[in-house]
Structure 1
Amino acid sequence: MLIGYARTSTKDQEYSLEAQIQRLKEAGCEKHYQEQVSSVDAKREQLEAALDYIREGDVLVVTKLDRLARSVANTVEIQKALEKKNAGLKILDMDIDTTTPTGKLQFNLLAAIAQFEREVMLERQRVGIEKAKAEGKYKGRKSISEEKKKKILELLAENGQTKEAIAKAVGVGVATVYRVKSELSLG
């Protein structure tokens, strides 16, 4: 089954959403999910619903890559989730269909280029940080408040919650919970 996904960033883009849905129907999508939400700030509930609905042999179809994901790396994550279900991805404007050998090749090239770009960017960032440190301008990341540390320690002491649940409750990353726990062990 072909399952379409259409998204616009704002409610003002009604025509664009309608145009995407029309293209998805023309491509043969029997079912489609749509939402009007920014891919950056908000949870994309309809995308999650589409990914949950997809079964073996199904293909998720989007009109353009930027309608699906925040970045190529995010697209790769979505593709891996589809692959686990033995499902495919089709991007109409790029003529990529991961259910074909050529489509898989195109997709993997795109992913490899994205990974290369990310690594180059991280290397530039490391060089910049080293230079800033050498010039005494780098201060590092601001530590979390003592109040948040205290709350993390309280929740850790309760032993009933996962690190992920604690992080969500306090509003920090999971790594921060581990770091606070580690500091407790060292202290």
Structure 2
Amino acid sequence: MGTVVLVLGVALWWAAHLFKRVMPQQRAAMGETGRLAATGAIILSVVLMVIGYKWADPIWLWARPNWMIHLNNLLVFIGFYFYAASGLKTRLTQKVRHPQLSGFKAWALAHLLVVGSVQGVILFGGLLAWAVVSVIVINRANRDWTRPPEAALWREGVAFVAALFLMLVVGQIHGWLGPWPFGGGA
């Protein structure tokens, strides 16, 4: 039952996020109601993914080596950095067209590497595939990309510090709710 709920959550995530891209006229016609419906669907999808993941009995495909925790943490940090860089409009955003989706892909890949269960593949593989498809759909719909203006170098430092702070806060919450993400078995 848990795996079914997990699959439904991932499918709803895909549908809620891609509806605007795949059916822009229908989404635009819905106005604010459509925005609220999409937000509700995204929240529901997260709830379904969490519940489904927790309910599912893990079916292990591989055991991760301990060193992979460090690779996971590096990729998660890169994901947070891409998000921070996007918000601060750093120099990175001149080189990467979709920094938030790139950060999301780094996060999903990181978790896919260390969670070697069928449920991990469904959740993190499904979300990674969504991010890849989203980039493709967005790029096809809007082929022209105007690079943002060059940003001050100090913004990179602020993005780095913000990513580090987020990594520590989210890591602590992750440890309270699930496995400790920083190794050491705490």
Per the normalisation by structure 2, the TM-score is 0.23
Larger radius of gyration: 1
**Bigger fraction of residues in helix:** 2
**Bigger fraction of residues in strand:** 1
Higher relative contact order (CA 8 A, sep 6+): 2
